[in-house]
Amino acid sequence: MKRGAFTKLTGLSVIAISTTGFIRFNGKSYEGDCETTSDILGPFYRPDSPVRDNLVLLGMPGDIVELTGVIRHKDCQTPHKNAKVELWHCSSEEIYDNDSDEFRYRGTTYCDDNGMYKFKTQMPVPYDAGGGLIRPAHFHMMVSAPGYQSFVTQIYFQGDPYVEKDPWSAASKAQYRKLKVEEENGTKKVVFDCNINDKLKASISALNQIVGKYKNDTSEKVMEFFERNGQLWSKNEVFGERYAYVGENKFEYSGMPTGLYEKLQFDFKQVGTIKLQLTAVWENGKEIKELFTKL
């Protein structure tokens, strides 16, 4: 289908795409390849965490850790003033606070004029994710700024015995997110700089057509989608899981290890009917395909 007809039919549009990494000569030395890789959002994201950079809970076990870094624009050099940074992680008891008003170990901060952000919290621990999988200790982060795709990633720690056994932290693209943990005056220090970028995005008008409930054509399974900050999410028991738009009515659950994926293909039929084909390969390596119809 021609691009103009495709855009008119579906209401989908794109914004500029730029590379996520490059190398160039600045006159004195080579610089660049500033790619910051994404990772799965995970099922425990909660929006609207309190604006605070101190997440320490008095009386709770766990080493104090200070996470700092710089958020840069897509040119990989210019600090991004006022970028929004959300952080969340599990407790020393391997629990995510998914429903309390306290938002334990969850917080939001904004970069200063130099692009700097800082959080003070307590070290998370590895936990049993089921099926024999032990996830290494990690931080979750989401970075958002106007004009940029929200960036989701996970930060791991060098020396964690599970970091090379976990499919996400062991992936080659995660190598620069296995961070060294320093210690200073009894406080652990971790530094994580990253770069944000613009990517394909679906228009709000398209998302407004897509959002809603979809029922599996052969079972009672229902998926419900909603829009938040110009992106597509599916509801889960905590809040939701985010899908990145990759063009041609297709969305993907980003950050999956090589060989694993979950893809959504929306097909706009006549008379307002929308079909959804979900194609996925999870841990067992077997591809599944499910067809849904919008209710």
**How many whole angstroms separate alpha carbon 39 and alpha carbon 153?**
4
Domain 23-195, CATH homologous superfamily name and number:
Aromatic compound dioxygenase (2.60.130.10)
* 237 φ, ψ (degrees, to nearest 5): -70, -15
Q: How many residues does the chain have?
A: 295
Is residue 10 very low, low, confident or very high in pLDDT (cuts 50, 70, 90)?
A: very low
Pick the CATH number of 3-12+199-294 from 2.40.128, 2.40.420, 2.60.200, 2.40.10: 2.40.128
152 close to 255: Cβ distance less than 8 angstroms:
yes
Q: What is the pLDDT of residues 212-249, one digit of tens each?
A: 999 999 999 999 999 998 889 999 999 999 998 887 78
Q: Which helix (H) or strand (E) element contains residue 10? A: helix 3-10
Higher-confidence position of 197 and 192: 192
Domain positions in the chain:
3-12+199-294, 23-195
Considering only the C-alpha atoms of the chain, give the largest distance between any 2 of them, rounded to a whole number of Å. 67
Flag whether pLDDT at 29 surpasses 70: no
262 close to 280: Cβ distance less than 8 angstroms:
yes
40 close to 168: Cβ distance less than 8 angstroms:
yes
49 close to 86: Cβ distance less than 8 angstroms:
yes
Flag whether pLDDT at 180 surpasses 80: yes
Is residue 200 very low, low, confident or very high in pLDDT (cuts 50, 70, 90)?
A: low
**How many whole angstroms separate alpha carbon 136 and alpha carbon 156?**
7
Structure tokens at 231: 């992106």
